[in-house]
């Protein structure tokens, strides 16, 4: 996501790097470039105008810092303004004082609403809530079934109309679901409503009726980020027809430009609260404007990376591994495999590396990183005997041939892995002996 914008902005900044001081002409030229970058990223014109005007005003103003060079100052201003336009502070879900908290989802068909319902339910469950998913999309064939599948995957309860009991009346289903949630002690109710392919009055009326019947604590408007500028007009139509408290952007993984994300808050006055970045339930998180701005400007998103690591590993596992690494003793191929699998659990390597600062510059190389490479390495190690994994020196020519055959790779690949492992082992030893990593500050070269 945001690759196009990120690339453009980074190149604007790099052309400023050599300047000792920025003249008004420099600032004008930079603002022109930023304007083009935003328009190319499909950001709504009104938003672009506002954004660029603010950058210009601040860059020309007296904000001259001794600590930052001109390029850094511009980056800082753009960063501040990006955070602002993305909504400023993170807007968290508001829970009702007396449960259940009722969250209603609205949006077009295909926006990813049902998928999102499952993701949100899982996210809430992971935080100790007991959500109930409610199927109020009674128009689209299979919608109820699809939501039930989602609920099953998210391991949460679902409420769907019983035959003869309010079938065909989404308002009645919504109302009953709240009662049901109270009885069953669900503290959050997520109501999935019907979407249409386009905006129509009937759709809006139905959503508004459901809203009036259940008085949700939060109405979330779900919108596909890939529809670009249309996201803004759709949001406006829903704002007028139903009204909503927050926005959920879906399919951010498929949107290289990011125009929707940068426009929707400014145009509707409602914050982006969550973002969806893939088809899997885990591809979902609360939306943090500051972190997103950091990613756009290629400053990395270390906070999200750390949180993902914390979510994925249990502490004991991590402590055990850290101890091995520090002692440098007996680091075997089994440990190597275990370590690799831990990283693998955190999600696609490309996404993880993409969150490191400066990685935006290496996008081409990143795109070549293939998770299947890791799977191949794992397959090779698994084809070794326990003895070989403990003592890789045993792995001679004939053993390599056997391992290659067992794991379906070439002998060269097996040899490459063994050599890399020895290097890693050597490095661990040096680190544990306090010599630092070669090539790193403080390390020996
Ligand atoms: P609904 O009609 O609004 O309920 O939309 P669905 O939840 O059925 O989603 C429509 C399609 O988009 C499905 O194929 C989903 O798998 C897919 N989808 C949903 N969210 C995402 C996302 O964040 N990223 C990607 N790549 N696909 C998504």
How far, in whole angstroms, is CA 98 from its chain's centroid? 31
Residue 255 confidence (pLDDT): 77
CB-ligand 1 contact for 112 (6 Å cutoff) = yes
Residue 442 has pLDDT above 50, yes or no: no
Cα separation of 156 and 135, whole Å? Answer: 13
pLDDT tens per residue, range 119-136: 999 999 999 999 999 999
Mean pLDDT of 248-256: 87
pLDDT tens per residue, range 4-29: 888 888 888 888 777 777 888 888 99
In the reported structure, the alpha carbon of residue 383 is separated from the centroid of ligand 1 by a whole-number distance in angstroms of: 38
Q: How confident is the model at residue 61 (pLDDT cuts 50, 70, 90)?
A: confident
CB-ligand 1 contact for 153 (6 Å cutoff) = no
Mean pLDDT of 203-222: 94
Annotated binding-site residues read 107-114, 192-196, 250-253
- Tell me the backbone φ, ψ of residue 144, rounded to 5 degrees: -65, -45
Q: Whose CA is nearest to atom 6 of ligand 1?
A: 112
Q: For 28-37, 50-59, 60-69, 112-121, which range has the lowest pLDDT when averaged over its residues? A: 60-69
Question: Is the pTM above the cut of 0.90?
Answer: no
Ligand 1 binding pocket mutation candidate from 112, 123, 143, 284 (most atoms within 8 A of CB): 112
CB-ligand 1 contact for 263 (6 Å cutoff) = no
Residue 435 confidence (pLDDT): 44
Is this prediction's ipTM beyond 0.90? yes
Q: Is the sign of the CA dihedral 104, 106, 109, 111 positive or negative?
A: negative
Ligand 1 binding pocket mutation candidate from 106, 115, 251 (most atoms within 8 A of CB): 115
Residue 433 confidence (pLDDT): 62
CATH number (3.40.50.450, 3.90.1640.10, 3.30.420.40, 3.40.50.300) of 101-299 reads: 3.40.50.300
Tokens of 281: 């339930």
Is 3-85 assigned to CATH 3.30.70.1060?
no
How far, in whole angstroms, is CA 199 from its chain's centroid? 28
Cα separation of 155 and 351, whole Å? Answer: 26
Residues of the chain with CATH 1.20.120.140: 3-85
SS3 332: coil
pLDDT tens per residue, range 169-191: 899 999 999 999 999 999 999 99
Mean pLDDT of 199-226: 91
CB-ligand 1 contact for 285 (6 Å cutoff) = no
CB-ligand 1 contact for 193 (6 Å cutoff) = no
Helices (H) and strands (E) in the chain, counts: 20, 8
DSSP bridge partners of 188: 101, 131
Residue 95 confidence (pLDDT): 96
Residues of the chain with CATH 1.10.260.30: 312-432
Q: For 259-263, 275-279, 322-326, 331-335, which range has the lowest pLDDT when averaged over its residues? A: 322-326
In the block, residue with structure tokens 């129509």? 200
In the reported structure, the alpha carbon of residue 139 is separated from the centroid of ligand 1 by a whole-number distance in angstroms of: 17
Percent of the chain with pLDDT over 70: 80
Percent of the chain with pLDDT over 90: 45
CB-ligand 1 contact for 110 (6 Å cutoff) = yes
Which is nearest to 108 in space by CA: 171, 199, 169? 199
- Is 340 or 87 the better-scoring residue by pLDDT? 87
In the reported structure, the alpha carbon of residue 203 is separated from the centroid of ligand 1 by a whole-number distance in angstroms of: 19
Annotated binding-site residues for GTP read 107-114, 192-196, 250-253
Q: How confident is the model at residue 60 (pLDDT cuts 50, 70, 90)?
A: confident
Contact status, residue 211 vs residue 218, Cβ threshold 8 Å: no
Q: Is the peptide bond before 67 cis (omega within 30 degrees of 0)?
A: no
Cα separation of 367 and 296, whole Å? Answer: 17
Fold of 312-432: 434 Repressor (Amino-terminal Domain) (1.10.260)
Residue 67 confidence (pLDDT): 59
CB-ligand 1 contact for 279 (6 Å cutoff) = yes
pLDDT tens per residue, range 286-297: 999 988 888 888
In the reported structure, the alpha carbon of residue 224 is separated from the centroid of ligand 1 by a whole-number distance in angstroms of: 8
Q: For 62-71, 257-266, 267-276, 367-376, which range has the lowest pLDDT when averaged over its residues? A: 62-71
CB-ligand 1 contact for 170 (6 Å cutoff) = no
Averaging pLDDT over each range in 129-133, 202-206, 358-362, which range is the top one?
Answer: 129-133
């Amino acid at each position: 996501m945001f690759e196009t914008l990120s690339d453009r902005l980074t190149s604007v900044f790099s052309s400023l790097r050599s300047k000792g001081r920025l003249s008004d002409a420099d600032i004008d030229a930079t603002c022109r470039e930023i304007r083009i970058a935003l328009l190319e990223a499909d950001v709504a014109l009104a938003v672009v105008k506002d954004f660029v005007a603010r950058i210009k005003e601040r860059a020309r103003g007296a904000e001259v810092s001794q600590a930052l060079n001109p390029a850094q100052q511009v980056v800082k201003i753009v960063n501040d303004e990006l955070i602002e336009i993305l909504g400023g502070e993170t807007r968290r879900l508001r829970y009702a004082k007396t449960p259940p908290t009722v969250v209603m989802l609205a949006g077009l068909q295909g926006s990813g609403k049902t998928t999102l319902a499952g993701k949100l339910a899982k996210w809430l469950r992971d935080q100790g809530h007991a959500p109930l998913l409610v199927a109020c999309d009674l128009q689209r064939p299979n919608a109820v079934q699809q939501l039930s599948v989602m609920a099953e995957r998210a391991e949460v309860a679902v409420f769907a109309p019983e035959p003869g009991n309010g079938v065909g009346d989404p308002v009645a289903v919504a109302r009953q679901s709240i009662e049901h949630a109270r009885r069953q002690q669900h503290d959050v109710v997520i109501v999935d409503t019907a979407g249409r392919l386009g905006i129509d009055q009937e759709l809006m009326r139905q959503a508004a009726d459901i809203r009036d019947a259940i008085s949700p604590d939060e109405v979330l408007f779900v919108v596909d980020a890939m529809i670009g500028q249309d996201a803004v007009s759709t949001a406006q139509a829903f704002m007028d027809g139903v009204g909503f408290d927050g926005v959920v952007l879906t399919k951010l993984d498929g949107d290289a430009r990011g125009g929707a994300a940068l426009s929707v808050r400014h145009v509707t006055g409602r914050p982006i609260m969550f973002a969806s970045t893939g088809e899997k339930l885990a591809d979902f998180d609360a939306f943090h404007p500051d972190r997103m701005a950091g990613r756009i400007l290629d400053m990395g998103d270390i906070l999200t990376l750390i949180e993902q690591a914390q979510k994925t590993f249990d502490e004991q596992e991590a402590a055990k591994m850290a101890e091995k690494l520090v002692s440098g003793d007996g680091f075997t191929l089994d440990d190597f495999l275990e370590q690799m699998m831990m990283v693998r659990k955190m999600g696609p390597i490309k996404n993880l590396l993409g969150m490191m600062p400066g990685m935006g510059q290496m996008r081409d190389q990143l795109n070549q990183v293939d998770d299947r490479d890791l799977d191949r390495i794992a397959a090779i190690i698994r084809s070794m005997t326990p003895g070989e994994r403990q003592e890789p020196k045993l792995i001679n020519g004939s053993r390599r041939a056997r391992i290659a055959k067992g794991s379906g790779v070439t002998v060269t690949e097996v040899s490459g892995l063994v050599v890399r492992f020895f290097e890693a082992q050597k490095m661990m030893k040096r680190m544990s002996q306090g010599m630092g990593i070669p090539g790193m500050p403080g390390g020996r070269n």
